[in-house]
Amino acid sequence: MKIAVLSGKGGTGKTLVSVNLAAVAQKSTYIDCDVEEPNGHLFFKPIDVQEEEVSVKIPQVDNERCNGCRKCVDFCKFNALAYIKDKLIIFEEICHSCGGCIMLCPEKALTEKEKGIGKMQRGISDEVTVYTGILDTGEASGISIIKKLLVNNKSKGDEQTFIDCPPGSACIVMESIKDADYCVLVAEPTLFGVHNLNMVYELVKLFNKPFGVVLNKCVDGENPAEKFCLEKNIKILKRLPFDNELGMLNSNAEIAARKTKKYYAIFSSLLETVKREVQYETTTNS
């Protein structure tokens, strides 16, 4: 069972929710797909960390063979190639590694070369296997790292996997939730929070994923995010309080559920709710 945790912006509580869910699930897998700023490992402090480089394939040109037909230049939707003064110029950081230019080149002047863009780490924290993707600074897209992180976890059958998504709703988030069985959307109780929630709400609807909302930082009084959920008939999985103790534990990179019984109970009940929802979705859809 793969559960993705997402939100429209950073700082909403994705890592808080996914780290604590993985901690209470005992034997589980946590995957930090927020490759631009992974912070789940700060909480888990995994040991026995193994590292693997991640690279992408980009074209390189043999200008002796290139006859300037420009098929590659015209084909590239990202404009990663230009033909200037009888020479092909390749902009590596623009390239999306689709390989189209290499396939199209009639002169076989383009070949693949590997370019490192970051790394993947795997470690253990109690019974949780912790995967972290780290994109090198300045690299444009972490998609390849996310693909690699998720492919590694295909084999594990009934074990629970928690995917800590990057913020927002761009392609990097789509890649992270593509194979998820269920999506947990985290929302803040503000108008801005509603805007951000709406972004990911539109996304999970587009992907036809079953989902529910965790209302984070709840205070007394009006909660626009809750109102939004009620209006749209969205399942509210849990209301997490705006709570000094929880905030403090989290700021100190502690996993609240591992620290106190109170939070263990809160996140266990959230996990149970999520599991029930997933089962419900499976039965109604089969």
| Among residues 57, 60, 69, 73, the one that binds another protein under rule CB under 8 A | 73
| Residue 187 DSSP SS3 | strand
Q: Specify burial of residue 64 (Cβ count, 10 A radius: 0-12, 13-18, 19+).
A: exposed
Binding segment for another protein among 7-15, 77-85, 150-158, 174-182 (CB under 8 A)?
Answer: 77-85
| Residue 112 DSSP SS3 | strand
Task: Based on the shown chain and the rule CB under 8 A, indicate whether residue 80 belongs to the binding site for another protein.
Answer: yes
Residues 134-193 that bind another protein (CB under 8 A): 140
Tokens matching residue 40:
């789940």
Task: Based on the shown chain and the rule CB under 8 A, indicate whether residue 66 belongs to the binding site for another protein.
Answer: no
- CA dist 170 and 62 (Å) reads 35
Binding mask 105-144 for another protein (x = CB under 8 A): -----------------------------------x----
- CA dist 7 and 225 (Å) reads 12
**DSSP structural state of residue 66:** -
CA torsion angle for 23, 25, 27, 28 (degrees, to 10)?
-80
Task: Based on the shown chain and the rule CB under 8 A, indicate whether residue 83 belongs to the binding site for another protein.
Answer: yes
| Among residues 49, 82, 219, 230, the one that binds another protein under rule CB under 8 A | 82
Binding segment for another protein among 79-87, 101-109, 117-125, 258-266 (CB under 8 A)?
Answer: 79-87
- Shortest Å, Cβ 58 to another protein: 14
Task: Based on the shown chain and the rule CB under 8 A, indicate whether residue 248 belongs to the binding site for another protein.
Answer: no
